[in-house]
Amino acid sequence: MSEIRLQQVTKRFGDIVAVDRMSIDVKEGEFVVLLGPSGAGKTTTLRLIAGLERPDEGAIFIDGEAATDAHPADRDVAFIFQQYSLYPHLTVFGNLAFPLRSPRRRLREAEVTARVQEVAQMLHMESKLGNMATHLSGGEMQRVAIGRALVRQPKVFLMDEPLSSLDAKLREEMRIELKRLHRTIGATIVYVTHDQVEATTLADRIGILEHGCIVQMGTPREVYGNPASLGAAQRLGSPPINVLPATLFDFAALPEGTSTVAIRPEDIVLHALDARDVLNFRVLEYSPLRHLLILDREGTAIAATTMTERNFVPGQTVGASLPPRSLLYFGSDGRRIPA
Ligand SMILES: Nc1ncnc2c1ncn2[C@@H]1O[C@H](COP(=O)(O)OP(=O)(O)OP(=O)(O)O)[C@@H](O)[C@H]1O
Ligand SMILES: [Mg+2]
């Protein structure tokens, strides 16, 4: 059974179609990351699942039950926003206990304390329970915000760029923390980010969003190795995939309708200059620490990663080949064309 199912869901804001006939299945316990450019409809998708927006068309199911018209409070879904909003006049304990003290829950105070202790331990925040919420680092505040969702033990967690306001080091720590949490509690998580490192390290499956549609849904490996569109190909990979005009290639060797050809930097093979079937490139830049070579061919810059011991200097000519089995072909609409 899938925990979350969107069936042909459309959401419009006036003339804008924010979500366009979107269908998704998220399995129980799965960590799904939605990745896409600004305005692609990521936040709107989460808000639809949470019940903060109502779809114009389509249906939403949570835990097998129709949820399209259910009130947000009846969905058993926790939403963690980009900007953590803690109650500044409460301690960490008070913030964590807050959702448990709602009249709907009617928990005894001993149960509240036990539950808060348990979550604080999970988040390594036991020693900070007495701190005022404002006397915390950014990472700690975000952990309390996550903890406030955890105490409720919801079926589903929705997270909208929860780490984007943290610095790089904290973000990395929190990423590991979140992964661990997911393993420990086995929750179903739908997570939105712009950050491809976050997406590839956290996700069981990545959903690539473009213009309100899921253009591809697959494991990070599937999306990386077998992208369905040029957009999906460019979304993952650092340095990014090379996108080259079809004119650089032998026209007869290209599948019909090809307008661009893409190749991952690590798939470019460097050769000795006198090897056969090798193209000549001019070196524009070389960064030995990143094993990154920027080459030029007829005014098009191409990134290549190489573990070679050779040294390169700007201006020199090198031989390289773009193996046909590593080439990805795309039409003018960005859709993948099979080789
Ligand atoms: N309440 C609203 N009223 C009008 N238009 C909206 C509203 N919410 C979202 N939109 C529009 O819907 C589209 C999708 O917005 P959404 O916030 O879902 O994008 P996003 O993928 O989360 O982008 P970002 O990465 O910038 O957060 C955008 O064109 C946005 O301007
Ligand atoms: Mg957003």
Alpha carbon distance 187, 6 (integer Å)? 18
Question: What spacing in Å lies between the alpha carbon of 80 and ligand 2's midpoint?
Answer: 12
Angle at alpha carbon of residue 198, lines to 193 and 199, rounded to 5°? 70
Alpha carbon distance 107, 127 (integer Å)? 24
Alpha carbon distance 207, 190 (integer Å)? 10
pLDDT of residue 272: 65
Q: Which of 183, 185, 217, 226 is nearest to 199 (CA)?
A: 217
Question: What spacing in Å lies between the alpha carbon of 261 and ligand 2's midpoint?
Answer: 31
- Say which ligand is closest to the CA of 41: 1
- CB-ligand 1 contact for 46 (6 Å cutoff): no
pLDDT of residue 137: 87
Partnered with residue 13 across adjacent β-strands are 16
Alpha carbon distance 21, 58 (integer Å)? 7
What sign for the dihedral angle of Cα 239, 327, 304, 200?
positive
Quote the tokens at residue 111. 């149960």
Alpha carbon distance 259, 243 (integer Å)? 10
Q: Are 58 and 9 in contact (CB under 8 A)?
A: yes
Burial of 72 (0-12, 13-18, 19+ CB in 10 A): middle
Indicate which residue's Cα is closest to atom 28 of ligand 1: 39
pLDDT of residue 253: 87
Indicate which residue's Cα is closest to atom 1 of ligand 1: 13
Is 4-235 a domain of CATH 1.10.287.3510?
Answer: no
Quote the tokens at residue 304. 């290549």
List C-alpha distances in Å: 190 to 43, 146, 299. 11, 14, 42
- CB-ligand 1 contact for 44 (6 Å cutoff): yes
- CB-ligand 1 contact for 18 (6 Å cutoff): yes
pLDDT of residue 81: 85
Look at domain 242-337 and name its CATH class.
Answer: mainly beta
- CB-ligand 1 contact for 13 (6 Å cutoff): yes
Q: Are 243 and 260 in contact (CB under 8 A)?
A: yes
pTM: 0.89
Task: Determine the residue of 9, 10, 11, 16 to mutate for testing ligand 1's pocket, defined as the one with the most ligand atoms within 8 A of the Cβ atom.
Answer: 16
Quote the tokens at residue 11. 């959401």
Q: Are 71 and 51 in contact (CB under 8 A)?
A: yes
Alpha carbon distance 173, 61 (integer Å)? 33
Question: What spacing in Å lies between the alpha carbon of 335 and ligand 1's midpoint?
Answer: 24
Task: Determine the residue of 13, 47, 192 to mutate for testing ligand 1's pocket, defined as the one with the most ligand atoms within 8 A of the Cβ atom.
Answer: 13
- CB-ligand 1 contact for 16 (6 Å cutoff): yes
* Domain 242-337 in the same topology as domain 4-235: no
- CB-ligand 1 contact for 41 (6 Å cutoff): yes
- CB-ligand 1 contact for 42 (6 Å cutoff): yes
CB atoms within 10 A of CB 176: 11
- CB-ligand 1 contact for 39 (6 Å cutoff): yes
pLDDT per residue rounded down to tens, the chain (339 residues)? 459 999 999 999 999 999 999 999 999 999 999 999 999 999 999 999 999 999 999 999 999 899 999 998 888 899 998 777 899 999 999 999 999 988 888 889 999 999 999 999 888 899 999 999 999 988 888 889 989 988 988 889 999 998 887 888 878 888 888 898 899 888 899 999 989 999 999 999 999 999 999 999 999 999 999 999 999 999 999 999 999 999 888 888 899 999 999 999 999 998 866 666 688 899 999 998 888 999 998 899 999 998 877 889 999 999 998 999 999 999 999 999 998
Alpha carbon distance 302, 122 (integer Å)? 46
Q: Domain ranges for the chain, please list them.
A: 4-235, 242-337
